[in-house]
Each structure stands twice: as C-alpha cells, then as structure tokens.
Structure 1
Amino acid sequence: MPRAAQTELGGSSASAAGTQTLLRGLKVLECVAAGVSDVQGIAAALGTPRSTTHRILSSLVAARYLHHMPHKGYLLGPMPIHLGNRALEQRPLVAIAQPYCEALSRQTGDTVHLGIVDGSEVVYLVKISGTRGFEMRSRVGQRMPLATTGVGKALMLDMPESRWRSLYDAAAAANARNPERPPIPDWDLFLERMRGYQKRGLVFDLEENEAGIRCTGAPVRDMDRRVVAAVSLASASPFMPETRLEEVAPLVRDAALAVSRELGWTE
C-alpha cells in the first residue's frame, strides 16, 4: 500500500478514535450531572470496561471537568460551572430578561423564573429567589414537564390543542414514574383551563408541579410574535392564595411584555 494511503487511513482511524473518546467524555459529564457518581454506574452507561472508564474519569478530573470525592464518587468540577455561566452570559435572552426578572422579584418578594421549551420540557434559564424565607427546589438548568409548570403552560399558549394533548400525556407519564409529584388534573379540566388561559394570555399553576407552590406565568414573544420564552412568579400557597394570584398576574404579564419589546415584539 502506498505510504500516502497508509497515512490517510491512519489519520482517519486516529480521528475516529479521538471522536469516540470525546463523545465518551461528554457522556460521562451527562451521567454525573444526572446523579450517576460511581465508576460502576458510569461504566454501565458508557458500555466500557472499568479500566477505560477510569482513564476517562482521570482525564476529566485533571482537566477540572470533574471532581473526585473519596468514598463518595464523582461530581461536576469547576470547568462546567464556568462554561455554563459563560453560556448564559452569551445568550441575549438571558441578558435582556435578567433585570426585569430581578425587578419583578424585588417588587413582590416572590421567586421569578424564566424558561424555554426543549421537547416536552421547560428548561429554566433564570431563577431569582424570593425573600419570604423558603427556597424552591427549582434551579437554573433544571428541566420539568411543560404541562405542569407555570412557565411551561405559558410556553404552550400558541401551540395547537393536539400538541397540548401530547404534552399533557408526557407530563402524566413523568408523574407516574415519580410518586412524589402531585397528581395531574384530568384531561378535560386541563383543556378547559388551558383554553381560558389562552384567552387571557396568562396561566396559573395551582400546586400541579410542586405541592404547596402556586404560580402565574406569561409568554415572552420575539419580533415575529413567536413565543420564545416565559416568565413566572411563584410562592408558597400561604403567601399565594388565588386572590393574590389574580393581583400579581398583571405584574408578570407586564414583565413578560417588557422583555418581548426588548426582543423586537410590537403590539
């Protein structure tokens, strides 16, 4: 075989091996982020021998992508935190919405979220904690079913009802896998509420996502009038009876509209 052909084949093989190693490393980070912290569990997820898994883990620890705690396993290291913060800084939506979310939280004392759609889930991009002495379990980067969250239902407002049904079914299936989650309303009630929310341009979460937590949400639109994000305001039910939900809902809508205008939306 000519030397040039050997070099080309060798380079192709090395490239493929490098790509495989990279993908395995990324898979390890996803596993650890999901809570799989032991070598055995990570090796099973990758389908690799323990020796290969150890080498990947050691490389990621050395590069500060992972942190190893003896007798406890692996945690995400400082590098993913740094990259995650940079990613948020580089998203125009987050930079634009953050001040409005902070102002809404200061005005009400409640927790404010901003989220976007990813498949059948909402991904939280902003969380501003309230000042009422309790902390919600939500966090930036967390995913929750669209159909059970205030942010999620606001993101659904422009979707067809057929899409509502598939998202409702996905949320019901997720709840069935987690008995700690509150029961989801039956489909007829859910549909009736969503139709009402669509007319108002506002949604409510009546302890459907987290027991004892109520919230209201509103969609954020871009210059093409598409729903690209949503803002919600949440608090513990003693601080958020239905009368107060109605009182704060216009404030949430105003914040969402302000962000929409910044993105180029016009009435």
Structure 2
Amino acid sequence: MPEDKAQRGTQTLSRGLEVLRLVGAGTTGASGIAAALEVPRSTAQRLLASLVAEGCLYRLPGQGYVLGPELIHLGARARAQQPVLAVASPALRRLAEATGDTVHLGVPDGDEVLYLDKIDGTRGLEMRSRPGQRMPLAFTGLGKAMLADHDEPSLRALYERGADAQAARPDRVPPRPWEAFRDDIAAVRGRGHSLDLEENERGIRCIGAPVRDVEGRIVAGLSVASAAPFMPDERMARLAPLVVAHAQEISRELGWRPDDD
C-alpha cells in the first residue's frame, strides 16, 4: 500500500474514533462535530454516515447522533476480556515496590472479601492472608474500602454477620460497637480510603482503597498492609494518597472516569 494512502487511512481511523468520543461526550450534530475536528461539514457527514452504517452510531431524527448498538456489544466483550486481576497486576507490583509492604487485591463476594492476589512485602513479615482466602467485608481494611457506597441498613447487616464470623475465630479481635463501625465507613466515604488499625489481625495495620468499573460501581479493592511498627499514623497518612492513586489507575483501566460520578 502506498505510504500516502496508508496515512490517509490512519487519519480516517483517528477521526472516526474522535467522532465516537465527541458523540459520547454529548456533541450530537454534524456541525458541532465538524467544528471540533476542524474539517468541512461534508467530511464530518461522511464519517458519521460510515459509523451509522457499521452500527457504531445511530441517528435520531431531530435529535442528532447517539452511540450505537455495536459499541454496546464491543463494550460488553471488552469488559469480559479484562478481568480485574489481569488489569490490576502492573499497578499492584509498582505499589509493592514503592512501599516495601504487602499489597492485596480483593473483590466483594457476598458478605466476604475474596482475596485475588497478594504481593509479599520486603520486610520479612509473614501474614496469614493468601489468594483464595475469604474474610468478612466489615472487618478488614480491604473489605471496608469496598463498603463506601452501601447504605446504613446494608452496612448494619454486614456488620452483624461479620461480627458473628469474627466471634468464631480462635484468634479473634473483639469487634468495635456498631456505631463506631458506621462512623468509620462514613469517614471512608469522605476521604476515599479505609484504615484497619489492628481490627482484623493483631499487630497488622493497613490502608485500603476502592476500585470502580466503567459504571462507577465498586468492583474490587486494594490495600497496603504491614506490621504496626512500620505503619505509624504519620506514615499511613503519607501512604494513603499513593494507595488511592493506584486504585484509581486500575479503575481507569476498567473504564471509570471520575467526571462521570
């Protein structure tokens, strides 16, 4: 293929993708799209017609263009092909390297958090957590990070069932009163991260943050954990923005955009 023809094809592809982004952002008319692309209206109309023919756009008489069914189909396939673990792995490893602490990734599963991945820290500290393990959502830093969007009745039910599960553990840490837990989740909501101050395992502290999908739903969480001597209050305050930033990076890979919340 001649080089100039290949360049024209690349340019057409880039413009077509930009048209989809513009329509998705609310630019629905040919004139507005032409202006945004800085092309003649006739060029914009040809691009729009091609995208309509492929099912990527749909034209509503009197209203303009909207995203079409082919994009819904492709979006569903993209989500199926991007499991959280595969998407999150690079960010988890960078976070572990940056902190030297143990990093976890988990997903909510009923009343529990299911641990998907664990990267051991470099401090020689052994933690009982492992991929495949389940713990009550309400009593781990990782789990609490995933409860920010729950309403009070749902939180109360999770707290009570989690407290029963905690009571059955031989090494149990006595659960805090419901009111303290409720206020803790309200704080998670406000600051964007959770704290576990030896509530799940004696001597272990951690910071957790939620991971969201394209629809803004919390679908996973990550945490950084270490022994209490390595996690004084001031260090936890310094690490929290780093943990949140890595969780948001994974969220963006899953299609989340903070402006859509």
Amino acid at match of 1:222: D
Cross-structure match for 1:174:
165
Secondary structure of the structure 2 residue equivalent to 1:133: coil
Q: Shift in Å at residue 131 of structure 1?
A: 0.4
> Which of the residues 124, 133, 145 maps onto 2:136?
145
Cross-structure match for 2:150:
159
Q: How many residues align?
A: 178
Cross-structure match for 1:72:
none
Percent of pairs with identical residues: 54
Q: Shift in Å at residue 179 of structure 1?
A: 3.4
Rounded Cα–Cα distance in structure 1 between residues aligned with 2:175 and 2:237: 22
Superposed, which structure 2 residues align to 1:53-132 within 5 Å? Answer: 92-132=83-123
Residue by residue, what CA displacement relative to the aligned partner does 1:18-74 show, whole Å, maximum 9, x if unpaired?
xxxxxxxxxxxxxxxxxxxxxxxxxxxxxxxxxxxxxxxxxxxxxxxxxxxxxxxxx
Cross-structure match for 2:209:
218
Secondary structure of the structure 2 residue equivalent to 1:204: strand
Output the TM-score relative to the length of structure 1.
Answer: 0.65
Secondary structure of the structure 2 residue equivalent to 1:209: coil
Q: Shift in Å at residue 91 of structure 1?
A: 6.2
Whether contact under 8 Å (2:82, 2:254) holds in the other structure is no
Rounded Cα–Cα distance in structure 2 between residues aligned with 1:251 and 1:232: 11
Residue ranges of structure 2 left out of the alignment (5+ in a row): 1-80
Cross-structure match for 1:230:
221
Rounded Cα–Cα distance in structure 2 between residues aligned with 1:239 and 1:166: 33
Amino acid at match of 1:116: V
> Which of the residues 247, 250, 253 maps onto 2:241?
250
Cross-structure match for 1:262:
253
In structure 2, the CA distance between the partners of 1:197 and 1:161, relative to structure 1 (3 Å rule), is same
Amino acid at match of 1:215: C
Amino acid at match of 2:174: P
Hey, which bits of structure 1, 4+ residues long, moved more than 3 A?
none
Cα RMSD for the two superposed structures: 1.0
Residue ranges of structure 1 left out of the alignment (5+ in a row): 1-89
**Residue 202 (str. 1) matches residue 193 (str. 2):** yes
Higher gyration radius (CA): 2
Whether contact under 8 Å (2:140, 2:199) holds in the other structure is yes
